[in-house]
Amino acid sequence: MTTTGWAPKTELETESLVKPAAQRKGRLPSFVPPLVVATAVLAVWYLISYVFLDQTRRFLLPPPHEIFTGAIFVPDSLADIGLATLRTTIVALIGLLIAIVLGVAWAVAMSQARWLETSLFPYAVILQCIPILALVPLIGFWFGFEYPARVIVCVMIALFPMVSNTLFGIQSVDAGQRELFRLHGAARWTVLRKLEFPNALPAIFAGMRISAGLAVVGAIVGDFFFRRGEPGLGALISNYQAQIQSEELFAAILAASLLGIVIFAAFGWLSRAAVGAWYESSGR
């Protein structure tokens, strides 16, 4: 005789249903850990400013509130930093766009033949390993000391992550899928367009996020050395350092940090919008 209807769940099944809910209730909101770290950093900052530094040496690390009252809330300083940030943003975005196009094209070319990868990839590594400061004088001699030179520095710093990540994504295609395309007689361009490139998109966007932060660094470094033309954050930081304007100096550094965070977050959002619907990260 058989019966139908509700059957009580076992203890293991009940625990498996209750445990995730309990974990979600006990988990802290995502903004709490960074807030705790920021509070600790500010506390140490104030401790160093008021305890370890006397009044005559406090310009080395002014208290955080003085950065706001002495620079950010001062209209002239805020206008200078805002305009310099805009100029640095333009240089960084142009350099990043060029690095993305060149990096993807470079990686796609290397993926087409083993001899191309063997021939070209060492130069990508060399470009990454050469200290950019050693090339800055040559870049200035060849391309001048204005916007083109700053953009070139951005491209050189941001290029390698795009090359390496794109190549890794293309080469990480499952062997079974490659064999399936080969059995159907797919052309090389078809394999690249319909299999390899879509498979490489998560790695490409990861490279974009890395290159985005490096492009900001490149824009500031280039502006730091190439002073002609309209000054960006690098030139502004150099001027504040030379004039020992510590509040303005820290405010400019804060603006540079926020610029890097914003660009990095923007490409993170773009990555989730482009591939998040079908690419599931294995993270926690």
Farthest CA pair distance, the chain:
94
- Identify the pLDDT of residue 38: 87
pLDDT of residue 104: 93
Instruction: Indicate the DSSP class of residue 230.
Output: S
Give the mean model confidence (pLDDT) for residues 118-138.
Answer: 84
> How is residue 152 written in tokens?
């070139």
Q: How far is CA 113 from the centre of its chain?
A: 30
The kind and range of the H/E element at 177 are helix 175-183
In the chain, the N- to C-terminal Cα span, in Å, equals 47
Give residue for tokens 């990260």.
281
Tens of pLDDT, residue by residue over 16-57, are: 545 555 455 557 777 788 888 989 988 998 888 888 888 888
Mean pLDDT, residues 93-118 taken together:
90
Angstrom distance (rounded) from CA 248 to CA 281:
41
pTM of structure: 0.79
206: part of which helix (H) or strand (E)?
Answer: helix 197-225
CATH fold of 63-275 reads MetI-like fold (1.10.3720)
* Tokens of residue 47, six digits: 């401790």
178-198 pLDDT, tens digit each: 778 888 777 788 888 888 888
